């Protein structure tokens, strides 16, 4: 048996023996809800009790680092240096999750206890992100146990605050730039374009959250006694929102439109399947006219109203409310001047007579847009290896439609970023019943084992 075949067999055995399920179950059982953690240090058990044994087996020397931001969760960094002559790969992952939402899961499923139903593994963090970085760590271990070396150096950085905006990650990468210096980031998060085809993406859309608020007075006033003579904040806010996009979601603020949808990007996106989802019908006529669905999703910006409030809809009263508020979000790709987003919005509202609408940006969860160039040599190498193993063309997209702290690596560490997701769109990420199919996890483990093997062989 060839050594590569032996490494692949080692990875197959992790499923046939039940070892993979056991290891993933132990990670899921550690509750790591970063939004509701009583203490930042409660989250460190994921490092000490969850990842420690695997990292020791990989020969990675680790260190838990205090977050540069007070009361934010600490980081785990580490490295295994086989030779200064070899290339160095940086591995990133986050162990924190969104809240459990325990009472909303299907009957008989506890989000902190792994459960298999119809060949799908359920549990909080299975898809985002515990299962994904476990795949990568175990693939590395299969290579190491077989070849007795990786053939490259490995460095790691794990965080426990990605779901609350990655506080301190940017600062940490700056402080530990020399320690984390690498040739490429290879990490996993987000979904594949199609469940049965490997995907590579090179960055992520950014996100800017902000609130629009209009407040005229204290207390509500009877709509019969005062209707027609008091300004209604709900009406004013509704009209203000209506000038940000038109009725079909086409963005109306020129500075909110990107300049990066090049022919090269369009060419890559044309090779993707035109069906976005088999379970959710998309609205073809929504968003920027003249663009394909994939161009809208991966190459353009989108505006969303996440929440609206004026009064209590569950207990309505016949009264004109004193105020109204909307929580809004702009998802944006590179080629958008993020520093001008709020300024452009202010100018746009003022030009249309909405000086009374206040823009609130405090405590917003923001990610910068970032993207490694499509002509990068690491993409060429990794795409070739993945396609040889898969036996056909894989899906390559310029960036994830969602947001990740990718700019910490591209802008601070100045390294190319290659993301290889091990999830799929219908995984219920951030929702009750988060899950992944066993077949997807098994295939992903073999895919990464082959990738790491070949990257080590070529070094």
> For 264-277, how does the pLDDT look when each residue is reduced to its tens digit (9 = 90+)?
999 999 999 988 77
Is the same domain home to 48 and 168? yes
310, 341, 360 - which closes a domain: 360
Q: How many whole angstroms separate alpha carbon 143 and alpha carbon 150?
A: 6
What CATH number should be reported for the domain holding residue 407? 3.40.630.10
- CA distance to 142, 146, 170, per residue, from 330 (Å): 42, 47, 21
Structural domain containing residue 316: 209-270+285-360
What CATH number should be reported for the domain holding residue 238? 3.30.70.360
Half-sphere exposure of 148 (CA within 13 A, CB side): 0
pLDDT at 458: 65
Is the same domain home to 90 and 50? yes
Helix (H, G, I), strand (E, B) or coil at 180: helix
277 is a domain residue = no
The string of pLDDT tens digits covering residues 51-63 is 999 999 999 999 9
pLDDT at 367: 82
Q: Residue with structure tokens 């490995």?
A: 154
Is the same domain home to 225 and 334? yes
279 is a domain residue = no
Is the same domain home to 234 and 190? no
360, 387, 419 - which closes a domain: 360
276 is a domain residue = no
Q: How many whole angstroms separate alpha carbon 333 and alpha carbon 345?
A: 17
Is the same domain home to 90 and 186? yes
Q: For residue 363, what pLDDT band results from cuts at 50, 70 and 90?
A: low
294 is a domain residue = yes
Could you tell me how many residues make up the chain?
A: 459
Q: For the chain, first and last CA: distance in Å?
A: 23
Is the same domain home to 17 and 127? yes
Coarse DSSP helix, strand, coil percentages of the chain, rounded to the nearest 5 percent: 35, 20, 45
Helix (H, G, I), strand (E, B) or coil at 240: helix
Is the same domain home to 433 and 449? yes
* Nearest partner of 87 among 331, 326, 415, judged by Cα: 415
275 is a domain residue = no
The string of pLDDT tens digits covering residues 209-248 is 999 999 999 999 999 999 999 999 999 999 999 999 999 9
360, 378, 399 - which closes a domain: 360
pLDDT at 129: 97
Is the same domain home to 178 and 89? yes
pLDDT at 175: 97
Is the same domain home to 173 and 243? no
The string of pLDDT tens digits covering residues 288-324 is 999 999 999 999 999 999 999 999 999 999 999 999 9
* Residue % of the chain over a pLDDT of 70: 99
113 is a domain residue = yes
Query: Total domain count for the chain?
Result: 2
Exposed (0-12), middle (13-18) or buried (19+): which is 362, by Cβ within 10 Å? exposed
The string of pLDDT tens digits covering residues 109-130 is 999 999 999 999 999 999 999 9
Name the pairing type of β-strands 417-419 and 184-187. Answer: parallel
Is the same domain home to 237 and 348? yes
88 is a domain residue = yes
106 is a domain residue = yes
Is the same domain home to 218 and 347? yes
Instruction: Give the residue ranges of DSSP H helices in 91-231.
Output: 130-147, 169-175, 177-180, 223-226
Is the same domain home to 308 and 213? yes
pLDDT at 40: 81
């Amino acid at each position: 048996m060839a050594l590569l075949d032996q490494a692949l067999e080692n990875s197959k055995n992790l499923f046939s023996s039940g070892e993979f399920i056991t290891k993933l179950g132990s990670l899921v059982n550690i509750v790591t809800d970063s939004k509701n953690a009583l203490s930042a240090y409660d989250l460190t058990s994921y490092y000490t009790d969850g990842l420690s044994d695997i990292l020791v087996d990989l020969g990675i020397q680790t260190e838990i680092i205090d977050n540069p931001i007070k009361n934010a969760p600490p980081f785990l960094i580490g490295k295994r240096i086989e030779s200064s002559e070899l290339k160095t790969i940086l591995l990133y992952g986050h162990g924190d999750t969104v809240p459990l939402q325990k009472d909303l899961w299907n009957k008989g499923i506890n989000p902190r206890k792994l459960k298999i139903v119809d060949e799908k593994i359920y549990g909080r963090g299975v898809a985002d992100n515990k299962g994904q970085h476990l795949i990568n760590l175990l693939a590395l271990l299969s290579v190491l146990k077989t070849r007795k070396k990786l053939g490259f150096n490995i460095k790691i950085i794990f965080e426990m605050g990605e779901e609350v905006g990655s506080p301190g990650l940017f600062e940490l990468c700056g402080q530990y730039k020399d320690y984390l210096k690498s040739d490429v980031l290879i990490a996993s998060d987000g979904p594949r374009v199609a469940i049965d085809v490997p995907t590579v993406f090179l960055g992520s859309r950014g996100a800017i959250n902000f609130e629009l608020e209009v407040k005229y007075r204290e207390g509500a006033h009877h709509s019969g006694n005062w209707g027609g003579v008091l300004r209604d904040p709900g009406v004013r806010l509704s009209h203000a929102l209506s000038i940000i996009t038109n009725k079909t979601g086409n963005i109306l603020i020129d500075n909110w439109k990107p300049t990066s949808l090049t022919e090269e990007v369009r060419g890559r996106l044309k090779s993707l399947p035109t069906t976005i989802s088999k379970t959710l019908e998309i609205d073809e006529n929504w968003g920027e006219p003249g663009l394909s669905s994939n161009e809208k999703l991966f190459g353009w910006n989108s505006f969303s109203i996440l929440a609206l409030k004026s009064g209590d809809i569950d207990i309505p009263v016949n009264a004109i409310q004193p105020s109204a508020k909307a929580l809004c979000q702009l998802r944006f790709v590179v080629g958008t001047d993020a520093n001008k987003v709020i300024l452009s919005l202010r100018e746009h509202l003022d030009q249309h007579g909405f000086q009374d609408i206040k823009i609130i940006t405090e405590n917003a969860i923001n990610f910068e847009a970032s993207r490694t160039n499509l002509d990068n040599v690491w993409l060429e190498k990794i795409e070739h290896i993945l396609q040889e193993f898969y036996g056909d063309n894989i899906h390559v997209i310029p960036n994830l439609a969602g947001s990740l702290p990718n700019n910490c690596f591209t802008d601070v560490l100045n390294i190319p970023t290659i993301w290889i997701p091990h999830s799929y769109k219908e995984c219920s990420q951030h929702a009750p019943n988060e899950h992944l199919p066993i077949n997807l996890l098994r295939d992903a483990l073999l895919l990464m084992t082959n990738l790491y093997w070949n990257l080590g062989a070529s070094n």
